[in-house]
């Protein structure tokens, strides 16, 4: 089943066209990787899916994005609701300058959960799901800024998990982390796909090959090729894809 | 060779002197206030000065030099100003930094900075002819020249400081925080109140302290609009005489070398210390703020 479908999606910043007529089907409970050289529009594509591009003045889209069959950009779409159901993890770990506990509780509180017992339960569960609980259970009240980069990123994942989204968008989640931190996040992603649909944008082709089930190759705003990860990395149909994954450019 | 070295030394000396001149001037002013002010206490016991309610240096019988009334007046007028200016200032700063379009921002910022350039005597004039009558009418008073009037005008005068410093602080908050908040389904309003403002709280505190510093020391406006009654105020509708106004009114007429003369210097010294303290706190908070970010 396809969780998110884009139909002839184009994105413009002012006059500049960032994405060109992208047709993409993101299958549910799988990890889909979007790869491509810097500036090809990977992150912009991701940010169309939770409408974070709305924050950029003069950005507009053409075409459609369907989320469970419903048009994300329809006039009656509740953006807040969309962002609650489609979570996001950013390139640079960006925990709030609050305590570990409050970082996770924030998303719950703004969504109306006030009960302290319930908050604590969800905080604990989210931290366990993101594999951070054992490391931080005694310092829930210390500032998130004191954690290491890898821990901060897992905290951000826990923060996204806490409000139980259906999809998690990951925008180069490991690019600011060391190999050990990267390994933990990748392990976590594979575990999480049982419950969530994950879309990861990555610069790192080995990472895409390691974790993803499907891969799309984006080049200069166009989707060159999309298919099973195995196939893309072994017998790519397109010359451009082959050149990119074999490291001849990018 | 020698000439070059002498020249080097002379230049070094010149820049060193100009560099520390501000410190020398500051110390000089403080010492002058202190040395003259201390002489008050030859005639007036220190605690009578500090805690006495009556300030009546030119009384026929026993003159009294209690400054408590004017200290309370100053604190009241300043506090009132801050209560009015803080919500207004932070609201404006939030609007300019987060909500206004670039075009609106570019119009608003210079206008606010011009507000800072209005001479205090003009503000006082507005207080007498506009704010005073309005206050008198609304609250049914015989005169609108009171603490409230002073607070309102001081609020307007400290607004530019509060707005521009807090706006800088809000804009310095990394966009990452805002995006993280939006991505969790927070509205713009929630994000501003619960993420952005707490993240730059120390910058906002610093802006408020600087605003207080501006308000405490302001003289001409309060002198013109607060009515100058040297008595203990009981409400914001009472006419008050602040420390600054007392010095400004009385120093020109007081005979040189009298207790009254020295007492005014002592008042000045206390004022100096207060505003120095407030500015120091603002500075410390700002430094901490910058470090926290690094």
Whether the CB-CB separation of B154 and B77 falls below 8 Å is answered with yes
Note which residues in 97-156 of chain A have CB less than 8 A from chain B.
97-98, 106-107, 110-111, 156
| Mean per-residue pLDDT, B17-22 | 92
Question: What pLDDT score was predicted for residue B1?
Answer: 65
Contact A163 B190 (CB under 8 A): no
What structural domains does chain B harbor?
Answer: 55-293 (1.10.3720.10)
**Residues of B with CB below 8 A from A152's CB?**
none
Question: What pLDDT score was predicted for residue A250?
Answer: 57
Collapsing DSSP states into helix, strand and coil, what is residue A4? strand
**Residues of B with CB below 8 A from A43's CB?**
none
Note which residues in 44-83 of chain A have CB less than 8 A from chain B.
50, 52, 55, 57, 80-83
Instruction: Answer whether residue B16 shows pLDDT above 50.
Output: yes
Instruction: Answer whether residue B288 shows pLDDT above 80.
Output: no
Q: Which one-letter DSSP state was computed for residue A28? A: T
Contact A96 B179 (CB under 8 A): no
Q: Give every CB contact of residue B64 below 8 A, 6+ residues apart in sequence.
A: B52, B54, B55, B56, B57
b vs e for A97-121, b when ≥16 Cβ sit within 10 Å of the residue's Cβ? bbbbbbbbbbbbebbeeeeeeebee
CB atoms within 10 A of CB A206: 10
Question: What pLDDT score was predicted for residue B290?
Answer: 62
Tell me which chain A residue has its CA closest to the CA of residue B189: A110
Instruction: Answer whether residue A3 shows pLDDT above 70.
Output: yes
Q: What would the pLDDT profile of A45-57 be if each residue is shown by its tens digit?
A: 999 999 998 888 8
Percent of chain A with pLDDT over 90: 60
The beta-carbon neighbor of A159 closest among B182, B184, B198 is: B184
* Residues B148, B132: Cα–Cα separation, whole Å: 9
Q: What would the pLDDT profile of B121-171 be if each residue is shown by its tens digit?
A: 999 999 999 999 999 999 999 999 999 999 999 999 999 999 999 999 999
Tell me which chain A residue has its CA closest to the CA of residue B194: A106
**E strands in chain A:** 2-13, 16-27, 31-35, 59-67, 70-71, 86-89, 167-171, 197-202, 214-219, 222-228
Instruction: Answer whether residue A158 shows pLDDT above 60.
Output: yes
| Mean per-residue pLDDT, B188-214 | 90
| Mean per-residue pLDDT, A89-114 | 91
Instruction: Answer whether residue B244 shows pLDDT above 90.
Output: yes
Instruction: Answer whether residue A113 shows pLDDT above 50.
Output: yes
Optimal mutation site among B101, B105, B184, interface A, most CBs of chain A within 10 A: B184
Q: Give every CB contact of residue A217 below 8 A, 6+ residues apart in sequence.
A: A35, A36, A223, A224, A225, A226, A232, A236, A238, A240, A241, A244, A245
Which residues is A177 bridged to in the sheet? none
| Mean per-residue pLDDT, A227-243 | 90
* Residues A151, B96: Cα–Cα separation, whole Å: 35
What are the structure tokens assigned to A70, written together? 């419903």
Instruction: Answer whether residue B293 shows pLDDT above 60.
Output: no
Task: Please give, one letter per residue, the 3-state secondary structure of chain B.
Answer: CHHHHHHHHHHHHHHHHHHHHHHHHHHHHHHHHHHHHHHHHHCCCHHHHHHCCCEECCCCCCCEECCHHHHHHHHHHHHHHHHHHHHHHHHHHHHHHHHCCHHHHHHHHHHHHHHHCCCHHHHHHHHHHHHHHHHHHHHCCCCCCCHHHHHHHHHHHHHHHHHHHHHHHHHCCCHHHHHHHHHCCCCHHHHHHHHHHHHCHHHHHHHHHHHHHHHHHCCHHHHHHCECCCCCCCCCCCCECCHHHHHHHHCCCCCCCCHHHHHHHHHHHHHHHHHHHHHHHHHHHHHHHHHHHC
* Residues A220, A225: Cα–Cα separation, whole Å: 13
Instruction: Answer whether residue A78 shows pLDDT above 80.
Output: yes
Q: Is A87 on the interface with B (CB under 8 A)?
A: yes
What are the structure tokens assigned to A236, written together? 């790519």
**Residues of B with CB below 8 A from A55's CB?**
179, 182
pLDDT band at B87 (very low <50, low <70, confident <90, very high): very high
pLDDT band at B294 (very low <50, low <70, confident <90, very high): very low
Q: Is A90 on the interface with B (CB under 8 A)?
A: yes
Optimal mutation site among B177, B180, B196, B289, interface A, most CBs of chain A within 10 A: B180
Question: What pLDDT score was predicted for residue B289?
Answer: 62
What are the structure tokens assigned to A157, written together? 């994942």
Q: What would the pLDDT profile of A213-223 be if each residue is shown by its tens digit?
A: 999 999 999 99
The beta-carbon neighbor of B177 closest among A84, A88, A94 is: A94
Instruction: Answer whether residue B88 shows pLDDT above 90.
Output: yes
The beta-carbon neighbor of B185 closest among A83, A90, A96 is: A83
């Amino acid at each position: 089943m396809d969780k998110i479908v884009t139909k002839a999606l184009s994105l413009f910043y002012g006059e500049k066209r960032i994405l060109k007529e992208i047709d993409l089907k993101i299958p549910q409970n799988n990890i889909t990787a979007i790869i491509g050289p810097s500036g090809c529009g990977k992150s912009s594509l991701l940010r169309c899916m939770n409408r974070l591009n709305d924050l950029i003045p003069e950005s507009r889209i053409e075409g459609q994005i369907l989320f469970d069959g419903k048009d994300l950009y329809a006039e009656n779409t509740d953006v807040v609701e969309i962002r609650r159901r489609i979570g996001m993890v950013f390139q640079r770990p960006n925990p709030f300058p609050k305590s570990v506990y409050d970082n996770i509780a924030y998303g719950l509180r703004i969504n109306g959960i006030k009960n302290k017992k319930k908050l604590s339960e969800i905080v604990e569960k989210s931290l366990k799901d993101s594999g951070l609980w054992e490391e931080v259970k005694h310092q829930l009240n210390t500032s998130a800024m004191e954690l290491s980069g890898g821990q901060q990123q897992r905290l951000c994942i826990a923060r996204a998990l806490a409000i139980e989204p259906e999809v998690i968008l990951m925008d180069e989640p490991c690019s600011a982390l060391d190999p050990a931190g990267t390994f933990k996040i990748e392990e976590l992603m594979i575990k999480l796909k049982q419950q969530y649909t994950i879309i990861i944008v990555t610069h790192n082709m080995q990472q895409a090959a390691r974790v993803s089930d499907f891969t799309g190759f984006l080049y200069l705003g166009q989707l060159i090729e999309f298919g099973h990860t195995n196939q893309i990395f072994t017998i790519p149909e397109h010359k451009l894809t082959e050149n990119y994954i074999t490291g001849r450019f990018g | 060779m020698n000439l070059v070295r002498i020249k080097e030394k002379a230049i070094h000396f010149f820049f060193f002197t100009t560099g520390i001149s501000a410190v020398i001037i500051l110390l000089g002013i403080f010492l002058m206030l202190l040395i003259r002010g201390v002489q008050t206490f030859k005639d007036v016991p220190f605690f009578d000065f500090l805690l006495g309610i009556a300030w009546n240096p030119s009384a026929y019988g026993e003159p009294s030099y209690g400054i408590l009334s004017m200290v309370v007046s100053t604190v009241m007028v300043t506090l009132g100003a801050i209560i009015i200016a803080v919500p207004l200032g932070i609201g404006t700063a939030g609007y300019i930094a987060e909500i206004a379009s670039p075009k609106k921002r570019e119009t608003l910022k210079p206008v606010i900075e011009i507000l800072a350039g209005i001479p205090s005597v003009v503000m006082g004039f507005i207080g007498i002819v506009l704010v005073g009558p309005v206050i008198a009418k609304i609250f049914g008073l015989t005169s609108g020249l009171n603490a409230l009037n002073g607070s309102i005008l001081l609020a307007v005068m400290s607004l530019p400081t509060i707005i521009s410093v807090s706006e800088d602080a809000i804009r310095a908050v990394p966009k990452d925080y805002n995006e993280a908040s939006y991505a969790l389904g927070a509205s713009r309003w929630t994000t501003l109140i619960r993420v952005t403002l707490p993240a730059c709280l120390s910058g906002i505190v610093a802006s408020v302290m600087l605003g207080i510093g501006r308000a405490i020391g302001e003289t001409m406006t309060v002198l013109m609009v607060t009515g100058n009654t040297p008595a203990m105020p009981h409400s914001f509708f009472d006419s008050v005489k602040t420390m600054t106004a007392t010095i400004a009114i009385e120093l020109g007429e007081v005979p040189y070398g009298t207790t009254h003369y020295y007492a005014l210097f002592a008042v000045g010294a206390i004022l100096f210390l207060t505003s120095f303290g407030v500015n120091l706190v603002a500075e410390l908070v700002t430094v901490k703020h910058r470090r926290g970010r690094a």
